[in-house]
């Protein structure tokens, strides 16, 4: 493959993979569970995510490679973890892509309530697969502009929201203030349990930022690019998430927001700024396209990595004339298409399912955590292997290995409360079953094939 992704591409890809329906649509569920305290959940999750990204950045600085965290898992833990990580990443982005297509169907109903929910998703996935097949630079440019639209809109939305809060712009000159943060049941409306329930979707909404590790193998000047991308991305994500959610819960009473559709659109529609609501609805559609676009890229590169390690048929390593892995892109696009079919059929198969989006989206949380877990564990082993290079390493993981252990405990804590939540417990079990099947497949078939062996520690 070709190194055609610049620093601006990589930063926007990481932002684009993260700022998607988890924020624009998933915020509805998290606000329902915990109220305005969801702001604290985003801050805490963001700080732990920074630790994960620093661990990844430390390793990528020395070894920038395509499919990096799966490669690191194989080398510094065991090949089974590399295999599990790669398939977890594929599953995560296919499921997130499905939820993006479901979300797009909901978004278009803002303008055309009678439009079939599956139709916009079908058009969208066809367009994205074709765009990904053209070239990696085309993917990078498309993702750059998708992400830029999201970023600019969130900034403008925060500014407009502050205008409503402080000066009453669009509200008849009557400042809304911030009393909605503690009225209507208080700041922690769902108590400790509700706050912990919200953490799973909050963490899920951050999933995708590790895309930086997959893009490293196709990056120009990878070392300075990786350092800059890690440093800049986390701060921006925290600002965009916390700032945007603050505007929502301050402007409009949290308990009057529906869990269906985007609370961003609902907030501006309900206070009468319909033009802003339509504009934001357009933007959340581009956000869904961006998330799926990043997912197709990420999952297809993981399929390529598996095939290159002889863990999938060699046909998956075939590149088209633009240097793009053709069959992996088609396979991932076909997987996401299942989300469009599910969106069309589920109302008839399971009419009692109230929030299809939360059901599908939260299925990605556990598999999506697997790359984070192996990054944190691999980094501990990585330091021992590369002890000589670590002495003058300019981008070390802060407070390692204690920060690694603390972050792992936080992830386990979140999964525990995800199991207790009746709205996410089934989705968690879906993730457990998937991971179990991947491990079983490896033990039965893949371990007989040659694969990368763990790296031996440097005794110098």
List Cβ neighbours of 126 (8 Å cut-off, separation of 6 or more): none
pLDDT at 403: 95
pLDDT at 154: 79
Nearest to 245 by CA among 198, 196, 212: 198
CA dist 67 and 211 (Å) reads 9
pLDDT at 457: 44
- At 241, the pLDDT band (50, 70, 90 cuts) reads confident
Angle between helices 222-251 and 27-34 (to 10 degrees): 50
CA dist 460 and 388 (Å) reads 8
> Is residue 2 a part of any domain in this protein?
no
pTM here? 0.81
- At 418, the pLDDT band (50, 70, 90 cuts) reads very high
Backbone CA torsion sign across 245, 247, 252, 257: negative
- Name the most confidently modeled range: 149-153, 260-264, 370-374: 370-374
pLDDT at 458: 43
List Cβ neighbours of 359 (8 Å cut-off, separation of 6 or more): 353, 423, 426, 427
For the chain, give the longest Cα–Cα distance.
72
Tokens encoding 96:
């997130």
Assign residue 258 the CATH number of its domain.
1.20.1740.10
> Is residue 1 a part of any domain in this protein?
no
> Is residue 281 a part of any domain in this protein?
yes
List Cβ neighbours of 323 (8 Å cut-off, separation of 6 or more): 1, 2, 4, 135, 136
Mean of the pLDDT values across residues 300-314?
86
- At 453, the pLDDT band (50, 70, 90 cuts) reads very low
Domain that holds residue 63: 7-448
pLDDT at 248: 84
> Is residue 146 a part of any domain in this protein?
yes
- At 460, the pLDDT band (50, 70, 90 cuts) reads very low
- The region of weakest confidence among 7-16, 33-42, 107-116 is 7-16
Instruction: State pLDDT tens for residues 136-192.
Output: 677 777 777 877 887 787 788 788 888 888 888 777 778 888 998 988 888 898 899
Angle between helices 274-308 and 68-76 (to 10 degrees): 40
- At 25, the pLDDT band (50, 70, 90 cuts) reads low
CA dist 270 and 394 (Å) reads 50
> Is residue 460 a part of any domain in this protein?
no
> Is residue 458 a part of any domain in this protein?
no
Using CA atoms, how far residue 225 sits from 8, 221, 371, 379, in Å, is 9, 6, 21, 20
Mean pLDDT taken over the chain: 81
Whether the pLDDT of residue 2 is over 60: the answer is: no
> Is residue 216 a part of any domain in this protein?
yes
> Is residue 457 a part of any domain in this protein?
no
147 or 16: whose pLDDT is higher? 147
Whether the pLDDT of residue 454 is over 50: the answer is: no
- The region of weakest confidence among 68-77, 231-240, 302-311, 364-373 is 231-240
pLDDT at 106: 82
Domain count across the chain: 1
pLDDT at 40: 93
- The region of weakest confidence among 62-71, 101-110, 201-210, 284-293 is 62-71
417 or 258: whose pLDDT is higher? 417
């Amino acid at each position: 493959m070709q190194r055609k992704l610049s620093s601006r591409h990589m930063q926007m890809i990481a932002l684009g993979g993260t700022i998607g329906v988890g924020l624009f649509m998933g915020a509805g569920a998290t606000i329902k569970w915990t109220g305005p305290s969801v702001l604290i959940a985003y801050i805490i999750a963001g700080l732990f995510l920074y630790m994960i990204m620093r661990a990844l950045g430390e390793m990528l600085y020395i070894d920038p490679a395509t499919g990096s965290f799966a490669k690191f898992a194989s080398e510094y833990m065991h090949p089974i973890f590399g295999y599990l990580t790669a398939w977890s990443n594929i599953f995560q982005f296919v499921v997130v892509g499905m939820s993006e297509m479901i979300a797009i169907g909901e978004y278009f109903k803002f303008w055309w309530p009678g439009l079939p929910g599956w139709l916009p998703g079908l058009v969208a996935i066809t367009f994205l697969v074709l765009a990904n097949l053209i070239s990696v630079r085309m993917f990078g440019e498309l993702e750059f502009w998708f992400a830029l639209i999201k970023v600019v809109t969130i900034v403008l939305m925060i500014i407009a929201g502050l205008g409503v809060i402080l000066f009453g712009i669009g509200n008849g000159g009557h400042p809304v203030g911030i009393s909605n943060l503690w009225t209507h049941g208080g700041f922690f409306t769902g108590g400790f349990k509700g706050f912990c329930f919200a953490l799973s979707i909050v963490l899920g909404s951050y999933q995708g930022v590790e895309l930086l590790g997959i893009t490293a193998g196709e990056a120009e000047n990878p070392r300075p690019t990786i350092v800059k991308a890690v440093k800049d991305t986390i701060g921006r994500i925290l600002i965009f998430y916390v700032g945007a959610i603050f505007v929502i819960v301050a402007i409009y009473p949290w308990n009057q927001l529906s869990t269906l559709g985007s609370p961003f659109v609902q907030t501006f529609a309900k206070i009468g700024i319909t033009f802003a609501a339509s504009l934001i609805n357009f933007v959340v559609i581009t956000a869904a396209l961006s998330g799926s676009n990043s997912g197709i890229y990420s999952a297809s590169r993981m399929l390529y990595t598996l095939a290159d390690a002889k863990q999938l048929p060699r046909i998956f390593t075939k590149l088209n004339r633009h240097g793009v892995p053709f069959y992996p892109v088609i396979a991932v696009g076909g997987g996401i298409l299942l989300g469009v079919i599910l969106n069309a059929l589920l109302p008839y198969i399971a009419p009692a399912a109230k929030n299809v989006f939360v059901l599908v989206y939260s299925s990605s949380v556990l598999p999506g955590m697997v790359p984070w877990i192996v990054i944190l564990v691999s980094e501990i082993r990585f330091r021992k292997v590369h002890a000589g290079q670590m002495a003058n390493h300019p981008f070390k993981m802060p407070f390692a290995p204690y920060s690694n252990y603390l972050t792992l405990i936080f992830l386990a804590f979140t999964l525990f409360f995800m199991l207790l939540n009746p709205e996410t417990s089934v989705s968690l079990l879906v993730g457990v079953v998937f991971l179990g099947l991947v491990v079983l497949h490896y033990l039965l078939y893949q371990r007989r094939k040659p694969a990368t062996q763990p790296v031996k520690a440097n005794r110098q």
